[in-house]
Structure 1
Amino acid sequence: MDGQFEIAAIAVHHNDMETPLITGAFALLLITISLLQPLARRLGLAPSVLLATVGTMIGILAIYLRYTAETNAFNAIADVFINPPLDSEMILYIFLPILLFQTALTLEVRRIVEDIAPILLMAVVAVFVATAFIGFALYPLATLFSLTDITLIACLLLGSIVATTDPVAVVAIFRDIGAPARLGRIVEGESLLNDAAAIVIFVILLHMLAGHETMTVGEAAIAFCRSFAGGIIVGALLGRIAVSLLPIMRDIPLAQVTLSLALPYGTYVLSDQFVDVSAVVAVVCAGTVFNLYGPARIQPASWQFLHAVWEQISFWAASLIFLLSAILIPRFVEGFTPVDILLLFVVIVAALAARAVVIFGLLPVLSVFRMGQAVNDRYKTVILWGGMRGAVTLTLALSVSEHAMLSDEVSVFVTKLATGFVLFTLLVYGTSLKPLIRLLGLDKLNARDEALRTQFLALALSDVRHELETAARNYHIAPRVTDDVLKDYESRAEAAAAETNKLEELKDWDRVRIGLIALADREQQLVLEHFHEKTISGRSVSRFLALTGRTGDLTRSDGRSGYNQAARQPLKFGLGFRLAQTLQRRLRIARPLAIRLADRFEFLLVYRILADELVDFNNKRIRPLLGDRVADILQDTLAIRQDETLAAIDALRLQYPDYADALEGQFLRKAGVRLEETAYDEAKEQMLIGTELHRDLLRDVERTRKACHTRPKLDLGLKTRELVSAHPLFADLTRKQQKAIRRMMRPQFATPGEKLIRKGDRGDAAYFIASGAVEVRAPSHNIRLGRGDVFGEIALMTGGRRSADVVALGYCQLLNLRAQDFKALLAENEDLRNHVAMLTKRRQLMNLDDGETEMEDPVFPIFTEIRTSNQTGEELSPETILAEPDAGETETEILTFDEADAQNDPSLMEKLSAADTVTATPEEPSQLEKDKDSHAEEGEEVQEVAKSDAGSADAEPEKGGAEGTQPHSKGFEASAADASTPNQGKSEPTEEATATSEPEETRKPKTKTRETA
């Protein structure tokens, strides 16, 4: 028992001794990393190259100190470096999630999309090609040299390990010499997904080699796709959850950073240990989602702080993993033989050949099929030579050496060749890449950027000179000193001004594109500024950031047309809005539609403000830089956007004026709160107020901010009771009748430009306009209908098809009445039935007056009760009859007669008996008609016709005359497309008028308008 306690005490003492040594070794590594950064800059080398070199030297030194016979003083610290307390799994779990997440967090995701095709090709296809090239190149040599344990799977495993690329060294070189940004994006995007694909292949091959499972090629492909796709789903889901939690920590940046740090580790562990999908893909996807949606959830200052912290964490992780991996290099390459050197040469050639096949063979295919932007040969050359390997390759090789199920021959084979290949790429590619870029001229600005540089430099130096001159006067600096300083700026400004003609050498479209890109980038900054000032809600800022990103992308690819396309896109109604409309129409759930409409209100208001600010930016900043001609073109482009946005706002304001006022007032109050907060902050910085007073004032500001950040609720006004009682057609009905109508009606909300009726469709409903306006688009003319009008009813009564389109001109509140309910409503309400009959007859008269004597699908109302009263011989009031001839004819005979006509003219009674359809209109209009007619206003085009026929309208109609007009004919407007409305009336055309009318083919479409209350 005592012996057990003694052993335990020794172990504890040993651990106590290890902890200080490990901590001291860690401190030495951090000091080494910090000192190597300025050295790398001075030597003009990538930091990764120096880290690998110094790490290898540390490993060699540790082995010497541990096994030398001269001294034992450094054995303990040497053991820490020879056998570090981290295995391959710990290295991957500690460092890899951080590196992957930080890379995804800093990528310009929307710009990456421009080159997504070449990136995916280099990241996924290139991994398979490299694995196959290296594996099949090594296997014959392994057989030749009698390496019995080295199977094809082992060779392919090595290929998957060295297929991973390390962008750290390459991107550092690119930034150091000012290489094109696109080149860096392609390499970073390739490496990000390249690691994911290579590690998935590595895991599958390792399981097969260790004997855990056997797979066919098809099964391996399915496993790869499942792991890859599963990683995308898990990463996207966890990323969205993390983003949704950010607003909870709105004003606590430290908590937000902590959450962001937990995300990659949690995603990696969950994916790898529990869901069994690619942990690398999941972390990359989570970082991408966090990058896309994070800025809209936290303040810009907090987002910058988060980025700064992540940059520091990533720097530590990348440097440490490189250094730790390099320290193990001496152990890996121990016992290198001539055979190993030959195999390493084969790996180098095969990897280079595989990369060349993909870059020069497959990339051009993408351009041929227009699947991505073309990559020029200079870029291809740099990408080919920039395929350096690094820490991930060494870590995967270490995991193979530690695998218990693999033979020593396989472990040594993989670790030797992988380590040798990493050293070759770092020492050869890393040291020669910068001279290659300079040789190809990729470190120089292109003609466009060079021209912009000289123009901007001339303007900036001139402004600086004036500012310095003012400062010298204010600070009472001696004139001779001032002159000496200003001379330098004057000479530089003159030299830059002498080269500004380069900008004029650019084509106009190129300069316009430069200006539009500047507008798109500036708009993104303005969005973030408004978000920082809290005048834009987090709900809106994500949409604006996505919009500005898309605007920049389309402008870069399509120029001005792309900018206009992106600027108009948000004015359209998207899928979410249409879905909300469907919920309101089908299920009468109006809240989602109200929220969408309120979002649109808020978006359009800010969109207009941003356009106004861009106009100011164009005049103050772009005009001096690019000239008046380009600035005027940009001004016109912005003016179009302003007009279209204002039209969209006015359409909403017309329907909901009170809500528009409330929303604008809320925006102004938000701006006032921000100004108040800024004033208090400035007073504290200037020591005018103390800390306690400042905090007290800010508490008041927060209370005010909370009150004004609650968006007012939007009432769509779609309550059936109110719509029915306010509609002119139903206003005079009894409460009981209105209640019965309400049960039949379904409120419907229409948006500007929405097609409510399509020509050729079967009629299934009639529409009563409660507010707003629609336009009936017939083949020969257009008709506008407004509040109180009805459309769509005729096809219900005839069973015919719609004969024209009906489109909403603005936001409309409609009452939708289905076919069977419509017929029941007319049967129960005589006044309404007679009124609709009158509207229908008038529409037909107008169509005839427009020359539409022939119709493909003539539409007439059917009232069987009127026809029955005729057949039973009941006395008829003076009325107008529309008689439909036989089905084979297309003409309509219009008769006007009174009681005497009906009693004394047998021929007239024969016509009535032979008619298929007879419509009667009472002599005296009902109160319902009077209310409808009261909405017609003077000044309409059709009013002139009504005035010209006033005499005949008052005269007694001739007996049996087909050319008479009804005595009570008032203003009306309707459509051959199944629409009826009270408007200025027209008499039917006389024979002379018909004879002199224009031929069908020369007739032009007409538009009739009416203002509605």
Structure 2
Amino acid sequence: MQLLLVVVGAIVVTAIANRRGLQPSLVVVVIAAAVSFIPGVPRFELDPELILSVVLPPLLYSAALDFSVYSLARNLRPILALGVGMVVVSMLVTGVVAWWVVPGMALVPALVLGAVVAPPDAVSAVAIGRKLGLPKRLMNILTGESLVNDATALTIFSLAVAAATGSHPFIDNAVLLFLYASVVGVGVGLALGVVVHWIRQRLGESGLETALGLLVPFAAYLFAEELHGSGVLAVVTAGFLLGHRDAGAGFATRLQGRQVWKSLDVLLEAFVFAYMGLQCRFVFADLSLGETSWWAFALSAAVVLVVVLLIRPVWVFLVCGQRILRRRWLPWLPRAPWEKRTEALPRSHLIVISWSGMRGVVTLAAAAGIPAVTADGEPFPGRSTIQALAFVVAVGSLLVQGPTLPLLVRRLNISTEAEAEAEAQAERRARQIARAAGDDALRRMLHDPPPGADAAVLARMEERIAAAMDARQSADDRDADVEEEAERSPVVRETMLVVRRAVLAAQRQALTAARDAGELDDETMRRELERLDYEEAAASQ
């Protein structure tokens, strides 16, 4: 009952925030935090493993389905620098600073805290970035980072917890454990993606195909975790593969899947932010300060939050902004080999990336997953302090960076006009490709009618069928004539349907080939496929 109330309340607040032009994530967190202080409100807490295995996988999988493999390849360096390098550096720096400033915290528990707060949240950054309408490359980098940083963070978190508790992980060597988890996770994701794609092509029923797709993120995560691999990487890899091969599914499956995943994203995102806020009062109620005052804890928490917020800008400009640093202050610094092959990010883009490091549900789930006792049966040192600091960082970063990020974007005047024009040109090119493929398919069918098409009808209605097949042309008298004749004659109606489906199939093949050849980007191809899917759905009525 509590879960249902939380979900319904989060959706209502999200709807109100959207209607008033506010950021739903911030509004939901603030209201949920206020609700947690109402006397008599019971504690709503889920098992951390439930969050990691039930809430996180579908969110990551949905993002991976819509993410372009080619965009990942083009932005691989900044994505790895943020998703792997920055997570490790953030863990080390935050841990050392917490060891210095948090009263009574030893080094190893401080490193556990560093691992907990290291990964920026996939839900927060992407949700706010989508709301702001950030440029495509910026969103690609933020989304790509969010798809790999959780795997890095959870791996180093398990190592830090093992060191703090005295237990032994599956592989003692940190580098080998990370490599093993990564390879197994990617392998499980690829294998599952291939199997699901093979099954999906043979089901022939959109409802079953969509239901199968809903099971993929959970199966990928659980299978990989059973093999001590990275469940996050398994989910992401399976999403990449199935999203890349989505053009091979039926049009009804694609249309249905888009709406299902869009609805699920809204539901889970609203729940995630509500869950974060509802922990507020109870996290601090559990805090065991000992001889430390609240003022000392508040000061140390503020220092940790500031350090976490500052690490990302420093790292972004040192690693991703080398050209800017060299041009302004370090002209003697030698060029890295990859700089000649990659396009430099503008300074405004680097600033936005550096301020898009909100923490969220993974941080809270990892903090809640810290064991209560060590291998010797002793209480885990500083567990309640780590959980309270993790909450401060997660909610604090969201409340500090969330409201200021839109102001920053407007102040930097990041224009998307040039990108909009480029997208319009790409869309025109996609429609030219689709039109040429449709015309070619139609000419072939007029000379060699496909099964189910009446040759006499094709010959008699050649010009009108050509007009009806033009997906970009608005309805006119010729289309109306075709529809009137189709209504009068079942033979004409069946012929028109067969021809239209064949033409649409040829257009999809041409668009996919253009994407694979690098002539179109993934996003443009998918938008054009969606238009063709709606056209086929209308024709099938």
Relative to the length of structure 2, the TM-score reads 0.75
Q: SS in structure 2 opposite 1:82?
A: coil
Deviation at 1:372, TM superposition (A): 2.6
Conserved? CA contact 1:117–1:366, under 8 Å: no
Alignment of 1:31-42 (within 5 A): 31-42=8-19
Q: SS in structure 2 opposite 1:333?
A: helix
Instruction: Tell me which amino acid in the other structure corresponds to 2:359.
Output: R
**What is the aligned counterpart of 1:289 among 241, 247, 254?**
241
Q: 1:686 to 1:206 in 2, by over 3 A?
A: farther
Instruction: Tell me which amino acid in the other structure corresponds to 1:178.
Output: G
**Does 2:426 align with 1:517?**
yes
Q: Distance in 1 between matches of 2:44 and 2:129?
A: 35
**Does 2:168 align with 1:213?**
yes
Q: Distance in 2 between matches of 1:402 and 1:685?
A: 71
Identity of aligned residues (%): 24
Q: 1:297 to 1:133 in 2, by over 3 A?
A: same
**Does 2:262 align with 1:305?**
no
Partner of 1:222: 176
Instruction: Tell me which amino acid in the other structure corresponds to 2:89.
Output: V
Q: SS in structure 2 opposite 1:373?
A: coil
Q: 1:514 to 1:380 in 2, by over 3 A?
A: closer
Partner of 1:439: 411
Q: Distance in 1 between matches of 2:371 and 2:278?
A: 15
Q: Distance in 1 between matches of 2:373 and 2:431?
A: 54
How far does the alpha carbon of each residue in 1:682-738 deviate from its partner, in whole angstroms, 9 at most, with x for none?
999989869xx9799869988xx99xx9xxxxxxxxxxxxxxxxxxxxxxxxxxxxx
Alignment of 1:335-414 (within 5 A): 335=287, 337-365=294-322, 368=335, 369-400=339-370, 407=379, 409-414=381-386
Partner of 1:82: 43
Partner of 1:264: 217
Q: 1:419 to 1:609 in 2, by over 3 A?
A: same
Q: CA RMSD in A?
A: 4.0
Conserved? CA contact 1:97–1:283, under 8 Å: yes
Conserved? CA contact 1:333–1:419, under 8 Å: no
Deviation at 1:153, TM superposition (A): 2.6
Conserved? CA contact 1:208–1:214, under 8 Å: no
Q: 1:26 to 1:698 in 2, by over 3 A?
A: farther
Instruction: Tell me which amino acid in the other structure corresponds to 1:288.
Output: F
Deviation at 1:416, TM superposition (A): 0.8
Q: Distance in 2 between matches of 1:662 and 1:178?
A: 43
Instruction: Tell me which amino acid in the other structure corresponds to 2:363.
Output: T
Q: Distance in 2 between matches of 1:102 and 1:523?
A: 30
Q: 1:695 to 1:289 in 2, by over 3 A?
A: farther
Q: Distance in 2 between matches of 1:670 and 1:376?
A: 55
How far does the alpha carbon of each residue in 1:620-664 deviate from its partner, in whole angstroms, 9 at most, with x for none?
xxxxxxxxxxxxxxxxxxxxxxxxxxxxxxxxxxxxxxxxx9997
Conserved? CA contact 1:46–1:172, under 8 Å: no
Partner of 1:168: 123
**What is the aligned counterpart of 1:112 among 72, 89, 108?**
72
**Does 2:148 align with 1:193?**
yes
Q: Distance in 1 between matches of 2:61 and 2:301?
A: 32
Partner of 2:517: none
Conserved? CA contact 1:114–1:373, under 8 Å: no
Deviation at 1:392, TM superposition (A): 1.6
Stretches of structure 1 that go unaligned for 5 or more consecutive residues are 1-21, 66-77, 453-512, 531-605, 614-660, 710-1013
Conserved? CA contact 1:139–1:152, under 8 Å: yes
Q: 1:375 to 1:122 in 2, by over 3 A?
A: same
Stretches of structure 2 that go unaligned for 5 or more consecutive residues are 325-334, 459-464, 470-478, 506-541
Instruction: Tell me which amino acid in the other structure corresponds to 1:158.
Output: L
Q: Distance in 1 between matches of 2:4 and 2:483?
A: 39
Partner of 2:100: 140
Q: 1:426 to 1:130 in 2, by over 3 A?
A: same
How far does the alpha carbon of each residue in 1:579-602 deviate from its partner, in whole angstroms, 9 at most, with x for none?
xxxxxxxxxxxxxxxxxxxxxxxx
More strand by proportion, 1 or 2? 1
Deviation at 1:235, TM superposition (A): 0.5
Conserved? CA contact 1:348–1:421, under 8 Å: yes
Instruction: Tell me which amino acid in the other structure corresponds to 1:253.
Output: S
Conserved? CA contact 2:189–2:234, under 8 Å: yes
Deviation at 1:278, TM superposition (A): 0.4
Conserved? CA contact 2:313–2:355, under 8 Å: no
More helix by proportion, 1 or 2? 2
Q: Distance in 2 between matches of 1:671 and 1:409?
A: 79
Relative to the length of structure 1, the TM-score reads 0.42
Alignment of 1:957-968 (within 5 A): none
**Does 2:200 align with 1:246?**
yes
Q: 1:83 to 1:364 in 2, by over 3 A?
A: closer
Q: 1:666 to 1:194 in 2, by over 3 A?
A: farther
Alignment of 1:691-730 (within 5 A): none
Deviation at 1:328, TM superposition (A): 1.6
Deviation at 1:314, TM superposition (A): 1.9
Conserved? CA contact 1:228–1:278, under 8 Å: yes
Deviation at 1:272, TM superposition (A): 0.7
Q: Distance in 2 between matches of 1:183 and 1:120?
A: 14
Deviation at 1:356, TM superposition (A): 2.2
Conserved? CA contact 1:119–1:190, under 8 Å: yes
Deviation at 1:227, TM superposition (A): 0.5
Deviation at 1:53, TM superposition (A): 1.2
How far does the alpha carbon of each residue in 1:132-156 deviate from its partner, in whole angstroms, 9 at most, with x for none?
11112222335xx3x2xx4323222
Instruction: Tell me which amino acid in the other structure corresponds to 2:203.
Output: M
Alignment of 1:744-893 (within 5 A): none
Q: 1:608 to 1:208 in 2, by over 3 A?
A: farther
**Does 2:88 align with 1:128?**
yes
Deviation at 1:198, TM superposition (A): 1.0
Partner of 1:326: 277
Conserved? CA contact 2:486–2:493, under 8 Å: no
Deviation at 1:239, TM superposition (A): 0.8
Higher relative CO (CA 8 A, sep ≥ 6), structure 1 or 2?
Answer: 2
Instruction: Tell me which amino acid in the other structure corresponds to 1:94.
Output: V
Deviation at 1:125, TM superposition (A): 0.8
Q: Distance in 2 between matches of 1:380 and 1:665?
A: 56
